Amino acid sequence: MQRADLMNIVTDLLLSALALRLALGLLPTARRLREFAIRYWFGAFIGVAASGLLAGTFHAFAAEMDPRTSALIWTVSMALAIAASFLFLIGTLHAYTSGRLLGWLAGGAVTKFVLFAMWATVNDDFRLVIYDSGLTLAAMLLMASWLAWLQREPSAPWILAGVMTAMVAALFQQGRVSIHRYFNHNDLYHVIQMGALYCFYRAGELLRDKDPNAPDFEATQPLPIIGEE
């Protein structure tokens, strides 16, 4: 096994271990408050942990496995990453929207998840995960930016920090940026994603389901660039 391959395995497993640790850290809050938003984010961290574990297993043992088995492990790993992306999004929707808007946007999130999960079964390109997470991050960025300005939601700054960190990781991964011959763009992606996960964990501790009687985020105030007459 080459050193570059070994580092890929190590960073996959470290990402998995961190995600599991953060999920367990969020679990007491989820049990105490019984908020849907926090529960969905707990599930998202579990999905990331399982995906990273399977990805590390694939990179470590694919050469010795039956090709069909290794392909299945990789496909499931991608599907779990897509599921985690969906859970982060649906949890954010529960925290920042309610009523009909929540129903419409949740329906869109489910549709996105189904389409990308089905696509992953016929295409093993990791870029599918990047594209799916990119859509999720864009939606989270929009909602968190709006809520950070309008209502000073305590979770919003941490979501913004996590989104921006995750976007940097994706840009480095897609740009094949590496800092050493034995620490390539995939390894760097995993390490930066760890920072994003920590930010999301801090946000998760502050998430609360939106009061259904409160106005939705798009109906409270105009954009700052519009102003008032």
Give the pLDDT band (50/70/90) at residue 38. very high
d(CA 170, CA 176): 10
Residue 226 lies in a domain: no
- Give the structural domain span for 106: 3-210
Residue 219 lies in a domain: no
Gyration radius of the chain over CA positions: 18
d(CA 46, CA 213): 31
What global pTM score does this model have? 0.86
Residue 220 lies in a domain: no
Give the pLDDT band (50/70/90) at residue 174. confident
Distance, C-alpha 113 to centroid of its chain: 12
d(CA 58, CA 5): 11
Number of domains present in the structure of the chain:
1
Residue reference for tokens 């859509």: 135
Does the pLDDT of residue 224 top 60, yes or no? no
Does the pLDDT of residue 121 top 60, yes or no? yes
Q: Is 221 left (phi over 0), alpha (psi -120 to 50) or beta?
A: beta
**188-199 burial, b if ≥16 CB within 10 A, otherwise e?**
bbbbbbbbbbbb
Residue 116 lies in a domain: yes
CATH no. for residue 196? 1.20.1070
